Every structure is written in structure tokens, then in C-alpha cells.
Structure 1
Amino acid sequence: MSLTLLVASSNQHKLREFNHIFAQLPLTLLPFTEHPSTHSLIVEEKENTFSENAIQKARLIAEKGQIITLADDSGLEVDALDGKPGVRSARFAHEHASDAENRLTLWTALSAKCPSSLPSNFFPARFRCVLAIVDPASPHTPHIFEGACEGHVTLTPSGTHGFGYDPMFTPLGAEQTFAELSLTQKMKLSHRGAALQRLIPWLQSYVLSHS
């Protein structure tokens, strides 16, 4: 049996990472923008925590589409900026910012903290991911899976893969930024990879119980 899983995202980079991790599972991932009952929904991230945002998105789409739904809310937390950009990672520069604009805003904020910074300087940080699964049969009982990746942000971006802040973030113990790693390498280390691996046993059990 193949399970259709609605995804509360149209971000092609995230969808690619989901598909990479779920490749061996009997799943069909369907972005909410491609489902007739949910394609016109406006999905906003107005909450104060990753988990609240993920739950809100998953519940909205699951109830409207009547299909089990996966939502992701993720972000970068930089210690020197008291955890910012955090839940506003995708909107750090402004509400409809591009990845490049957000990286420039981060670079500017960190440069102000260390005006004489050299390329070798780095700022301790972490990527955090919260996944929420909501079954429309029980919309007020979300299932939460979390992952985090410690590392540091550099003021000298490097690499062409990935998205978001990937060119500025090097995971702990690695010598390359996320943007310099292959997708397989990145998913072994990343916050989203960790959260998705924790989700897999639950999904396998769900598929078996609904087959």
C-alpha cells in the first residue's frame, strides 16, 4: 500500500530533501499546492516557536484536505544574535525576502558584532527543525519530531548546493558548509535529516495500520 502524504510546503528544496529520505518508503508526497482542496490556502507562519508553526500548518491543511499532512518549520539560531533569526529565518530581511537577501541581512548583523572580522572568524549557531504530522481523524493530536545540527556561521559564504543559509553554515566536525556537501552528505548531518529519521518509524507503523 502506498500512502499519500500531503506536505505543507511548496519549497522545492525541502521537498527534494523529504523525497531523498523517504525514497525507500511506500509514500507519495503531494505538496498542498497540488491538491484541489488545499491549493489555494494561504499558509502563514505567525507563531512564536517552530513547533507551534509546524502544528498550525499541518492542522490547517489536514483538516481542509482530509489527508494526513506533514509540516516543517525550521530555522537558524545564532548565539551572537540571541537566537535570531530563529522562527523568522525565511523572513529575516523582510516578509518576502529571497535567500540572498536573508543571507545579506545575517552577514550585516554579524559584521556589526565583529567589525574587524576575518574570514576565519565564526559564530556558534545551530539549525533546528520541527516536523508535525496531523491525521485529519484526530487533528488535535499532532505528532512532533525534532532535529538539530550544531555548528557555526561564517562571514565568508561558500558552496553552490542547498538553499537558505547553507553557504554560511558549517556543521560541527565538518570542514565544508552545507552548500558544499552533496545532498546525501548533508542529510546525514542536518537538522532536517535527523528529524525525518525520527519520523520514519512512526510513518512505517502508520502505513501498516492503515493497509
Structure 2
Amino acid sequence: MQLCFATNNAHKLTEIQALLGSDFELKTLADIGCLEEIPETQPTIPENSRQKAEYVWDNYGIGTFADDTGLEVYALDGKPGVDSAHYAGPQRNANDNINRVWEQLAATGHTFPTPARFLTVITLVVEGIYHQFEGTVEGTLINEKRGGNGFGYDPVFVPEGHERTFAEMSLTEKSQLSHRSRAFAKLVAFLRQR
């Protein structure tokens, strides 16, 4: 079965292809000729994930899955959430985004560490039928950057039950815990049952 993973990240594609095995042939957006920017204009992570999958299905007619991820800080009413990648502006700079979260927490009088979670939602559309899979990891935000691995908010996020940030963990360690791996495990289990 052919499926498009709505990404052009070859590393992500290889990782998921290995999980799915030879019964599925994964394509990137470039592989199916989708070179345009896919819209991400919805107000929530689940809706953004669906919008991306729906765009590929409607315009290219191939079974597709798309993911969207965000950091939700409880003291900020779930922000930055769907705006996590561009929270400090269109430059999509991780340091700027972290600094903005810190500034907002300081302005509201919250102390560190403060509870937060990462959320990933994957939307799969096959033959016009939609399915969503969610993965979360609870933890805390700290007020110093630690570690050189990972990306985004990883240097300031300590997953529950651990003392190191995601950025202080190896990719293997992080993937055993992460929100994204939990969501993808549900997707893979679903596809294998088809």
C-alpha cells in the first residue's frame, strides 16, 4: 500500500518506513509532486494536522498522514500550543520562542519549574476516511537551557520522571519517551491491522 507522509524530512520518513515494514511504501510530499507550502491555518493542533492531511488527499488523491506538534504550558492556558514553531514571530527561531515563553511566565508571576506537556496529533486519511492518533508527554519547563541535542523547546523541557531535558538525551532515549513516538506507535499499530 502506498501512503504519503506529509513531510519532506527524509530522516522522519526512513524512521517511519522502518516501523511499518515492506507492506507499506511511503512517499514524501516531493515524491508526489507537492512542492507548494501546505496551509496550517487552524486554531488547534488536531485541526492543523487534519488540514495538512486533507490538503494532500483533496489535491493529490493519495492516502496520507500528517502530524502537528506543540508545547502546551498550563500556566499560559496551553500556549504556545499550535503556535509553538512561530511563537515569537515568523522567523521561527527556537531561542526567541523559548525567551518569549519565559517572559510570559515571568510576567504572570509563575516560578520554575512549571508544568507543561508536548502534544503530537497525527491525522491519517485513506479512501476519504479520517483517523487521528494522539501522543503526549507530561513534564516541566525549566528556566535554563541544558543540552545540545534535539530542537525547539527540548533544552528547557524535562519529561516527567526524569532529571535531564530532552536536549540532554540521545535521540534513542528521547524517541522512547516522546509524544511523537507515542502518536506514531498508535498509527503504526492501526496500519498493521488493516
What TM-score do the two structures reach when normalised by structure 1? 0.82
1:128 is aligned to 2:119:
yes
| SS of aligned partner of 1:142 | strand
Q: State the distance in 2 between where 1:124 and 1:18 align.
A: 31
Report deviation, 1:202. Answer: 1.4
Q: Which moved more, 1:17-26 or 1:64-73?
A: 17-26
What's the CA shift for 1:85?
Answer: 0.2
The answer to whether the aligner puts 1:171 opposite 2:159 as a matched pair is: yes
Query: Quick check: 1:180 aligned with 2:188?
Result: no
Partner residue, 1:143: 131
The answer to whether the aligner puts 1:69 opposite 2:64 as a matched pair is yes
| 2:27 matched residue in structure 1 | 30
CA distance in 1, matches of 2:45, 2:135: 11
Match of 1:162 in 2: 150
Report the number of matched residues. 192
Aligned to 1:209: none
Give, as a single letter, the amino acid of the residue that structure 2 aligns with 1:6.
Answer: C
> How far 1:130 sits from its partner (Å)?
0.5
Partners of 2:17 and 2:26 within 8 A in 1: no
Per-residue deviation, residues 175-195 of structure 1 (Å, max 9, x unmatched): 111111111111111111111
| Whole-angstrom CA distance in 1 between matches of 2:147 and 2:66 | 27
Q: Which residue is equivalent to 2:96?
A: 101
When the two structures are superposed, what TM-score results if normalisation uses the length of structure 2? 0.89
Contact 1:170 1:176 in 2 (8 A): yes
Q: Does the CA contact (< 8 Å) of 2:85 and 2:97 recur in 1?
A: yes
Instruction: Please point out which of 176, 179, 193 is paired with 2:181.
Output: 193
Cα gap change, 1:73 to 1:158, in 2 (>3 Å) = same
1:58 Cα deviation from its structure 2 partner? 0.2
Shift, 1:22, TM fit: 4.3
- Cα distance between partner residues in 2 of 1:21 and 1:157: 29
Aligned letter for 2:90? E
The one-letter amino acid paired with 2:87 is F
Structure 2: give runs of 5+ residues left out of the alignment: none
1:78 to 73, 76, 79: 73
Q: Which amino acid aligns with 1:48?
A: P
For residue 35 of structure 2, what is the aligned residue in structure 1?
39
Higher relative contact order (CA 8 A, sep 6+): 1
Root mean square deviation, CA, Å: 2.0
TM-fit CA distance, 1:162: 1.1
Is this contact kept in 2: 1:161–1:178, CA < 8 A? yes
The gaps in structure 1 that reach 5 residues or longer are 207-211
